[in-house]
Amino acid sequence: MKRSRLFFLPFPLPIPASASSLAMLAVFLFCGLRASAWALVGETEQQIEARYGGPGKAIGDQVLYAKDEWNVSVFYSAKGVVTMEIYTHRPDSGGTRPDIAQPEIDALLHDEGRGQAWGAGEADGLTTWRREDGLLFARYRPADQLIVFISPDHQATAGRPSVMLKDGKTTDAPANP
């Protein structure tokens, strides 16, 4: 197999020269670069508005933001700090919401981790992560096509909010991840 190198990196990275491999690398790099544009639990409303170019649309206890192919539901504490986020892809022109790809999940976990490791577990098609400091949890079920990041602060102040699933049904956010 012919291998090529990416010369814009500070070190040579051999990769297969096939188109599918290059496409996968492009998706990974794209997601990695985009991760810094996502909201982060613990940020203020002003920081989030700066990321998304203005105020979002308030609906109940959440504020909705849309950027590129993403919808982000953000829940703020009484102090104006993000305590929960729900990420979904915006529906395409046919009304279908694309799945969240593993590189996108990895990029979100990386940014939300802020240099800390995540411990993961899986049961009944639901993957749950706990950040090593215990101050953030994440949950993802491919069938729901959303990933939720929630801090214990959110659960303590807001109870158990409902989360809208892809099929229009609701489920309770994790009570004790």
Q: Give residue 40's pLDDT.
A: 81
Query: pLDDT tens digits, residue range 2-53?
Result: 333 333 333 343 444 444 444 444 444 444 334 445 668 888 888 988 888 8
- pLDDT at 101 exceeding the cut of 90: yes
Q: What is the pLDDT of residue 23?
A: 41
Give residue-wise pLDDT tens across range 118-169: 999 998 889 999 999 999 999 998 888 999 999 887 766 554 444 444 444 4
What per-residue confidence (pLDDT) applies to 92? 87
Residue 80: the pLDDT is 87
Q: Could you give the dihedral angle defined by the CA atoms of residues 136, 141, 144 and 147, in that order, rounded to the nearest 10 degrees?
A: 30
DSSP string, the chain: --EEE-TTSSS--EEE-SHHHHHHHHHHHHHHHHGGGS--TT-BHHHHHHHHTS--EEETTEEEEEETTEEEEEEE-TTSBEEEEEEEEPP-TTSPPPPPPHHHHHHHHHHHHTT--EEEEEETTEEEEEETTSS-EEEEEGGGTEEEEE-HHHHHHH---EEE-TTS-EEEPPS--
| Closest C-alpha to 152, from 132, 140, 134 | 134
Instruction: Indicate whether 106 pLDDT > 60.
Output: yes
Question: What pLDDT score does 18 carry?
Answer: 47
Dist. CA 61–CA 71, nearest whole Å:
16
CA 15/CA 21 separation, integer angstroms: 8
The pLDDT tens digits for 53-99 are: 888 999 888 999 988 888 999 999 888 888 999 999 998 889 888 99
